[in-house]
Amino acid sequence: MSEAFPLLFPLDRFYARQEIALPEARWLTANEVPQPYRQLLCGEHDMTPTLEAFHKDRIHLRVLERWQEGEALWRLVALELVDSGRPVEFGAIVIHLSLFPKEAAEVVLEGHCPLGSILAIHHIYHESRPYGFVSVQSDSIINNALGLQGTQTLYGRRNVLKTLDGSAIADILEILPPEKPLYS
């Protein structure tokens, strides 16, 4: 991948704000992503409904950190299963609020509902465009968000959600927990 698509953006912004080193990571091709992660990550689909279908449960949002710069909302989040509370995704996202209808932008700012659910509820047409897949060695921030211990190899994707005219609604790094995790 080129420098136009930094490996761990927007996660790198959160780490820079805390002045800590990024976890070890590398680009992967879709074929290098093992199952079941490949079926979850490697396609032009939104993660929220994909994870809900895979886990047969609804998902809620836990915001770990957030800040706003103008119309850009930056969030570090965990997506969790409603029934068990088990985390099923760690993510870093920058959301471009100016591209949302007012009502939808207000729901985004409340920070209770996953972005994929908001897009569906408010009938906001968009395209999911993954442009790279990654393996990441978990660190204390990722482990805390996903309830893990020790360094584990995790898989994720760099994704951008776009409007019909190609404007970026959101730029996202989505990281999935291990299939058989070592929980803390």
Q: Which residues contact 90 (CB under 8 A, 6 or more apart)?
A: 77, 78, 142, 145, 146, 154, 174, 175, 176, 177
Tokens 């760690």 sit on residue: 90
Residue 181 lies in a domain: no
Question: For residue 175, which of 109, 79, 85, 39 has the smallest C-alpha distance?
Answer: 79
Q: Please, which residues bridge with residue 71 across strands? A: none
String of DSSP letters for 24-74: PEEEE-GGGSPTTHHHHHSSSS-HHHHHHHHHTS-EEEEEEEEEEETTEEE
Residue 2 lies in a domain: no
CATH of the domain at 138: 3.40.1410.10
137 near 23, Cβ under 8 Å?
Answer: yes
| Number of domains observed in the structure of the chain | 1
Q: Going residue by residue through the chain (184 aa), what tens digit of pLDDT does each one get?
A: 545 668 999 999 999 999 999 999 999 999 999 999 999 999 888 898 999 999 999 999 999 999 999 999 999 999 999 999 999 999 999 999 999 999 999 999 999 999 999 999 999 999 999 989 999 999 999 999 999 999 999 999 999 999 989 999 999 999 999 976 544 4
Residue 93 lies in a domain: yes
**Torsion of Cα atoms, 37 then 42 then 45 then 51, to 10°:** 0
Residue 41 lies in a domain: yes
Centroid of chain to Cα 39: 16
pTM of the model: 0.93
SS3 104: helix
pLDDT of residue 3: 52
Q: What is the rounded distance in angstroms from the CA atom of residue 110 to the CA atom of residue 104?
A: 10
Residue 127 belongs to what domain range?
11-176
Residue 29 lies in a domain: yes
